[in-house]
Chain A
Amino acid sequence: MPIHRTRGELAVDVLFYVFLSVAAFTTVYPFIYLLVISLNETQDALRGGLYFWPRKFTFENYLYVFENQRLARASLNSVLRTVIQTVLSVFACGMLAYVLSRKTFMFRKAFSLTLVVTMYVSGGLIPTYLLIKNLHLLNTFAVYIVPGLVSAFYIFIMRTFFEQLPDGLVESAYIDGANDFSIFTRIIMPISLPVLATVALYVAVSEWNAWFDNYLYNSRNENLAVLQYELQKMIQVVENTTSGEEGEPTSRVISPLTIKSTLTILVTVPILLIYPFLQKYFVKGLTLGAMKD
């Protein structure tokens, strides 16, 4: 639009820039605040008044977290579950989506409809819990993987993408003697990287952030705890003992305040590291999902 701006429009522009800067600042500042607290010396942080820079810079909070056996174990669990589930889930959803995208597949419509229903209808908490119990998945690592393996939403995103691929691709592979599985792994998957990356990101983020299945099914086995759950427990504990003890200079140099900030930062950083790189993909993926018909 090669339109020159009037003074009024310029003022509005300035207003917009200010407004957006404020909005962006309020979204990011809380994270900065936590970062500052986590990098500050514990007793000093309790005095408050920390805003942008740590007053007494230290890594001791991070060292404490890394040396803590329970938290180390939880980090391992979180990483394992995220990696395993991302790989398996993308593969499983991809295969299903591929079948549903083939026009020659017999029960296409019926299956799609059943899938849609799962997006809105679920057993509810208790039946699900009982099912998990009857399957002997309570207090196992598998409970993180199996129930969430396939999801209708991801399947639809992938199906939309697969449907845009030319039919001739699959047909020529058939003529060359490839079976369906090798067509899927050797032809479909390599050319579908953008959509696979999108779904992988979705799965990875939701796995990394999950804590409720841990709370519900695995809370008795400390070895299976994930990071988010450890953090959740800490919040709950501190909330229930609001103020009071934490100012007391006990033998422990670490307070719930700093340890919570440190853990929060540690839980957030992996996501921070990945997501700017994948931004292009997921924006595309999101609009792709929105246009499903």
Chain B
Amino acid sequence: MVHLAVFQFVPLWGWLMAFKDYKIGRSIWSAEWVGLKHFEILLQHDQFLQALRNNFAMNVMQLVAGTVCAVGLAVVLSELRSKWFVRVVQTMTYLPHFVSMVVVANIFVMLLSPDRGLLNDLLVKLDWIDEPIFFFGQATWFWVLHTIILTWKGFGWSAIIYLASIAGIDPSLYDAAHVDGANRWQRVKYIVIPCIIPTLVLLTILSIGNLLTGGFESQFLLGNVITAEYSEVISIVALRLGLNQGDFSFGTAVGIFNSLVSLTMVLIVNAIARKYQTNLF
């Protein structure tokens, strides 16, 4: 057993390092201890507050849109009888999940480009608009675009889990409903939806930890100078001010803030989850 413990710990080492990031960050930060100065700066920092708002808005929008689309897809798929059709649709809708955000960003930048982008091309041809629209040039549209793109990327994949839970529904419920003369809509409303609610709650709870601080890649890749006011999230501000402009203590304060916030959220969420008897740990 000792041998086992010793040997298996070798890889743990690599992992410990990753965990120590936090500790090392902390000691650097406390080495030049200046009280809560950096946090005060942080909480009064215009760009930081703006980033916090962006983070929150985009994550909530994406959580709602993503969940609705995934559940919708799963319900519709589960209602169909043609197995091969279901499989083909599933295979097609997973696809974007496996493709990198870089590729996805590239695709949408190209499709929405004002300069012979496909969407503008079509809209102009259909006479719906007179001049090409620079979609990524409208700061206020960024949240919506971002939500659409991330939902596009993820809905097929998230649907898998809902499909699995729909498949797990006891068939006798359907039979009973049929005897009671329920139609399809009633079946979905009174059997399918209630049965996937535990899964839905669990997944939502899991993602709440990231609500305030999560996200980076998509915003970084899709955003540009024009949309900065709406596209910069906390991590981007930390990167820009912290690394690129050398304000290390500010960047570190951001990191600690992020960790504290997500840890608090997770603890709160776990407490809530216990109530639903689906606690995470």
User: Interface of A with B (CB < 8 Å)?
Assistant: 1, 3, 9, 12-13, 16-17, 19-21, 23-24, 26-28, 30-31, 33-34, 46-49, 51, 91-93, 95-96, 98-99, 102, 104-106, 112-114, 116-118, 120-131, 134-135, 146-150, 179-181, 205, 208-212, 216, 228-229, 231-232, 234-235, 238-240, 242-243, 246, 257, 260-261, 264, 267-268, 271-272, 275-276, 279, 283, 286-287, 290
- Contact string against A for B residues 158-192, beta-carbon threshold 8 Å, 1 for contact and 0 otherwise: 00110010000000001000100001100000000
- A243 to B85, Cβ gap below 8 A? no
Query: Chain B contacts of A268 at CB under 8 A?
Result: 99, 103
12 contacts between A and B (CB under 8 A): A20-B76, A114-B19, A117-B263, A120-B266, A121-B263, A123-B21, A124-B255, A127-B26, A130-B25, A257-B116, A264-B103, A290-B161
A3 vs B183: C-alpha distance when bound (angstroms): 11
Q: For chain B, which range describes its interface: under 10, 10 to 19, 20 to 34, or 35 or more residues?
A: 35 or more
**3 closest residue pairs by CB, A with B:** A124-B255, A127-B25, A123-B21
A121 touches B25 (CB 8 A): no
Q: Which residues of A contact B178 (CB under 8 A)?
A: 1, 3
CB-CB under 8 A for A261 and B110, given A120-B209, A127-B28, A150-B14: yes
Contact of B8 among A1, A98, A120 (CB under 8 A): A98
Q: Are B14 and A146 in contact, with the CB atoms below 8 A?
A: yes
Q: Secondary structure of the B side of the interface?
A: helix
Q: How far is the CB of A142 from chain B (nearest CB, A)?
A: 11
| B-side contacts of A242, CB under 8 Å | 114-115, 134
* B215 within 8 Å of A (CB atoms): no
CA gap between A71 and B103 in the complex, in Å: 16
Contacts of B1 in A (CB 8 A): 104-105
Q: Write the nearest CB–CB distance from A28 to chain B, whole angstroms.
A: 5
Residue of A92, A131, A181, A235 near B17 (CB, 8 A) is A131
Q: Distance in Å from the Cβ of A127 to the closest Cβ of chain B?
A: 2
A36 to B183, CA, bound (A): 45
In the complex with contacts A99-B5, A205-B98, A208-B100, A123-B22 CB distance below 8 A: yes
For A267, list chain B residues within 8 Å (CB): 99-100, 102-103
Given A23-B73, A124-B254, A131-B20, decide whether A264 and B88 contact each other with a Cβ distance below 8 A: no
CB neighbours of B266 from chain A (8 A): 120
- By the criterion CB–CB under 8 Å, are A125 and B95 in contact? no
- Enumerate chain B residues within 8 angstroms of A231, measured Cβ to Cβ: 102-103, 106
Contact A121 B11, CB 8 Å, known A30-B111, A205-B98, A257-B110: no
